[in-house]
Amino acid sequence: MKNLSNNFPSFPSTRLRRVRSSYFSKLITSENNLSVNDLIMPLFVTDGIGVREEIKSMPGIYRYSLDTLMGHIDDIIKMEIPAIALFPRIDSNLKDSDGSLALDPDNLICRVVKKIKSEYPDLGVICDVALDPYTDHGHDGLLVNGIVDNDKTLNVLVEQAIVQAEAGCDAVAPSDMMDGRVAAIRLALDDNGHQETQIISYAAKYASSFYGPFRDAVCSKNSNTVIDKSSYQMNPANSNEAIREISLDINEGADMVIVKPGMPYLDIIYRASSELKFPTLAYQVSGEYAMIKHAAEKNFLDLDKAIIESLLSFKRAGACGILSYFSIDAAKLIKNL
């Protein structure tokens, strides 16, 4: 084959590798950057004293009682992670078909929120609004004749959101996927003096197989039946429907929206952020965490590199923030600790 460089001394004239070959130029031309400011740490809380219980399906992630949780939050504060998202593990003896404990102003989540905000008023605290941790059937809403009743559930979700706002959380995050819940919660918050409480809506939450470890963590699985949430969570085949869902929540008063899961739905994150121009968060869910963590434990991949690469993918897709169980690990990597 003829050597092209003989006739074209500068061939090829465009060499993209030139920029990639120098550390300084890679930094300057980086299109997306991951910051500690992008991170939200999900935390699992449980009743008891001195509890720090590892979740088997999520190595390195624990359920904390309130006393041990505060020490863990110290670490989160030191890493300068701006916000946490709280999820309760409720004892089965306290669950019922109506999830009534969710409305108790002295329930676990409310006690935890009050304690955290009393000691760390500047830490963002996000509370999950859904009934699945509190119901004995494991669904996110109330069952009527075996079907989750949308409108009856709305009344309970509104009360749950008010209880959490009164405990002092900065944002409520409805994850139930009931129609109209953002509007109902926004109206109730405003009418009850919580105009500043934000709504961070799980606007596009898919009926995903990637939630398994999370359901272990909050013990929301029903051992008697397989819980099918596909009548209210989204069909993984659909993307236009996600944009409709997100648009509805924006119009109903959401302050931010969440796409869940994250990595299998990067296209949805991209469309939401680029088409709707609205603050969009990605949730790197428990199954995503478990896959990366278990693969790294078997030396199938480099954990540190996989953490940063996976989180950068959300930023590249357009996410302005990321809920990730890797948040503390990522913060350490970003700070080179």
pLDDT in tens, 167-176: 999 999 999 9
Which segment of 142-151, 155-164, 215-224, 322-331 scores lowest on mean pLDDT? 215-224
pLDDT tens digit string along 189-215? 999 999 999 999 999 999 999 998 887
Helices 327-334, 303-317: axis angle to 10 degrees equals 100
Q: Is the pTM of this model over 0.75?
A: yes
The ranges assigned to domains in the chain are: 34-334
What is the chain's mean pLDDT, rounded?
94
Q: Residue 224: pLDDT above 80?
A: no
Angle between helices 150-167 and 181-191 (to 10 degrees): 40
> How is residue 16 annotated by DSSP?
T
Per-residue confidence (pLDDT) for residue 223, from 0 to 100: 52
Half-sphere exposure of 69 (CA within 13 A, CB side): 27
Residues serving a catalytic function are 205, 260
Distance CA 141, CA 131 (A): 6
Give the pLDDT of residue 3: 64
- For residue 217, the model assigns a pLDDT of 77
| Peptide bond connecting 261 to the previous residue in cis, omega within 30 degrees of 0 | yes
Whether the CB-CB separation of 148 and 106 falls below 8 Å is answered with no
Given a cut of 60, whether residue 5 has pLDDT beyond it is: no
pLDDT reported for residue 13: 83
pLDDT at site 245: 98
Mean pLDDT over 36-53 rounds to 97
> Letter for the amino acid at 207?
A
- Output 15 or 241, whichever has higher pLDDT: 241
Supply the pLDDT for residue 215: 78
160 neighbors 129 (Cβ within 8 angstroms): yes
Q: What is the pLDDT of residues 70-117, one digit of tens each?
A: 999 999 999 999 999 999 999 999 999 999 999 999 999 999 999 999
CATH number of 34-334: 3.20.20.70
- Mean pLDDT over 283-290 rounds to 96
Cα distance between residue 294 and residue 298, in whole Å? 6
210 — phi, psi (to 5°)? Answer: -85, 5
Query: Cβ(253)–Cβ(182) under 8 Å?
Result: yes
What is each CA distance from 48 to 36, 45, 69, 163, 215, in whole angstroms?
31, 10, 11, 22, 20
